[in-house]
Amino acid sequence: MKKLLILSIVLLLAAGTVFGQGQRAALDIGLAMPETHVERWQRDGADLLAFAEAKGYRAEVTYGDADQGVQNRQIQDFITKGAKLLIVGSINEGVVPVVSDAQDDGVIVIAYDRLITGSDAYDYYITFDNFKVGQFQGTAIEEALDLPNADSKKYITLFAGSPTDNNANFFFDGAMSVLRPYVESGVLEIVGPAPLVSSSPNFTRIATENWRADLAKTRMENLLNSDAQNVVLDAVLAPNDTLARAIIEALATDAKYDTVDKLPVVTGQDGELASIQFIRDGRQYMTVFKDTRSLAEAAIDLADALMKGEAPTISGARLDTETYDTGLKVIKSYLLEPVIVTRDNFQEVMIDSGYYSEADL
């Protein structure tokens, strides 16, 4: 029996060694997306896979179910399979240890759409200009309420994205860069928690864990029965489409907003199909289109250059080497241009571009 046990251990070790040395990488690029409950990530994953395979790479996409532990195991699996490069849309800073593991194994990591904060173990980030996304949201409210010429006080309540998502800070600060002067002059009154910058302690009171629609809906309902009970809201700063629609559904339960024309201005981003329908129907005021086809193609172009050891030349994106600081390192960042979408241009931007078809709507 003992001889059999020793023999089997020897065979296993031999197999492991052969497999280890002789292992042909089963994978070139690992694509780790955060989750699927926000529609855009399903598109990002599909587009990234298509562009990677079009360049002849063996790629695999996973979705982390908004759980960083799940995504970390998926990333470690990519490394085990021999991936040379990882494109990671992270969930929170819990991703940092596996980014370090990747660097230790000589695996390149590109932060995709969301900056990986708390790490210096990677070199590139690719996203849309997040501050500009927020500016579009703020400007939409400024114009819709005609704030420069307002002859009466206007009321707004604030929502932000996930406190674990560095983008949420940029979106909020971009919007408030437009709206803050009106708050300070008294034209615009904030109903409920009133941070004026994302570094404010009050920011967490308007932030929405993991971009969960159910949390935004509940908080809007609570506001309607408390701070917002005795005012008529003119606007709600909603950071993306998923939350915008949840907030609009909560508003519609209140007699003050129970018809489309009585709804406040509600912002968004991501150009989600349901929100394009809401914008067409006058329920949501605007979104920001961030064409995932463009972001995915640029990310794969960047990956291709890095794997070939070539200097990246990414068309349609500007290189920013100052703004995105992980806390340990300023990361070279490629920023693509977002596009504001309202009732006036959704047909041209979202349908004529082929992103959606008439039939989709």
Interface residues toward ligand GAL, by CB under 6 A: 38, 40, 113-114, 161, 165, 167, 211, 240, 269-270, 290
- Cβ proximity to ligand GAL: between 144 and 243 the closer is 243
Closer residue to ligand GAL (CB): 283 or 290:
290
Nearest approach in angstroms of CB 65 to ligand GAL is 13
- Torsion angle, CA of 241/242/245/249, rounded to 10 degrees? -160
Residue 269 CB, nearest approach to ligand GAL (Å) = 6
**Closest CB to ligand GAL among residues 139, 166:** 166
In angstroms, what CA-CA distances link 252 with 154, 247, 249, 255, 269? 20, 9, 5, 7, 20
Residue 208 Cα distances to 100, 283, 294, angstroms: 28, 21, 27
CA 23 vs. chain centroid, Å, equals 36
Q: Which of 174, 173, 147 is nearest to 235 (CA)?
A: 147
Q: How far is the CB of 162 from ligand GAL (least distance, A)?
A: 7
- Tell me whether residue 172 or residue 346 sits nearer to ligand GAL (CB atom): 172
Give 102 or 295: the residue with its C-beta nearer to ligand GAL. 295
Helix (H, G, I), strand (E, B) or coil at 358: helix
Return the ∠ at Cα 271 (arms to 267 and 274), rounded to 5°.
Answer: 85
Q: In whole angstroms, how close is the CB of 23 to ligand GAL at the nearest point? A: 35
Q: Return the residue nearest ligand GAL (CB atom).
A: 38
CB 37 within 8 A of CB 66: yes
Q: Cβ closer to ligand GAL: 187 or 236?
A: 236
Backbone angles phi, psi at 227, to 5 degrees: -55, -30
CA torsion sign, 35 to 39 to 44 to 47? positive
Instruction: Name the minimum Å distance from CB 240 to ligand GAL.
Output: 4
CB of 290 to ligand GAL, least distance (A): 6
Decide if 225 contacts 157 (C-beta within 8 A).
no
Q: How buried is residue 16: exposed, middle or buried, by Cβ count under 10 Å (0-12/13-18/19+)?
A: exposed
Rounded to a whole number of angstroms, the minimum distance from the CB of residue 63 to ligand GAL is: 12
Residue placing its CB nearer to ligand GAL in the complex, 143 or 209? 209
Q: What phi and psi values does residue 266 have, to the nearest 5 degrees?
A: -120, 125
Nearer to ligand GAL, 137 or 157 (CB): 137
Residue (of 295, 254, 242) closest to 38 by Cα position: 242
